[in-house]
């Protein structure tokens, strides 16, 4: 996703709104695979074009990670996971709550 480091979903939505307006003319607002799928579901983008865009987004992410890997002097020693005593079900609902406004915000523009 876009890296919204805010505690508030509303703040993240405002950031996404501004970001999508900045890229409006260059990317047709298909800045994330979630948005691409949402636009295909509502019929704003044809399925073939949406599928090709999603493939391009995945290949772009792989290429970007290769560039970052090449720029770093050594291995990146990080782990992702749920913190504290958060269960997997709670983590799923946190992810859904934080991800749901993303395509909704973009589609309302």
User: How much is the pLDDT for 83?
Assistant: 83
Structural domain contains residue 73: yes
Tracing tokens 């480091």 back to the chain, one arrives at 5
pLDDT of residue 59: 92
Q: Would you say residue 48 lies in a domain? A: yes
**Residue 3 resides in a domain:** no
Contact in structure between 50 and 37 (CB atoms under 8 Å): yes
Positions of the chain with pLDDT lower than 50, given as ranges: 1-3
Q: What is the pLDDT of residue 26?
A: 53
Contact 19, 8 (CB under 8 A): no
| pLDDT at residue 63, as a whole number | 93
Q: How many domains does the chain have?
A: 1
- Show the domain range for 89: 9-107
pLDDT (0 to 100) of residue 11: 64
pLDDT score recorded for residue 55: 92
Strands (E), the chain: none
What pLDDT, on the 0 to 100 scale, is given for residue 103? 67
Q: Is residue 1 part of a domain?
A: no
């Amino acid at each position: 996703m876009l890296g919204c480091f805010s505690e508030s979903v509303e703040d993240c939505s405002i950031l996404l709104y501004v970001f999508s307006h900045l890229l409006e003319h260059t990317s047709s607002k298909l800045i994330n695979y979630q948005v691409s799928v949402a636009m295909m579901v509502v019929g704003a983008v044809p399925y073939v074009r949406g599928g090709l865009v999603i493939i391009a987004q995945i290949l772009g992410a792989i290429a970007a990670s290769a560039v970052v890997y090449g720029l770093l002097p050594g291995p990146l020693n990080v782990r992702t996971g749920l913190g504290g005593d958060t269960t997997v079900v709670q983590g799923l609902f946190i992810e859904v709550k934080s991800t749901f406004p993303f395509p909704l915000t973009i589609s309302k523009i």
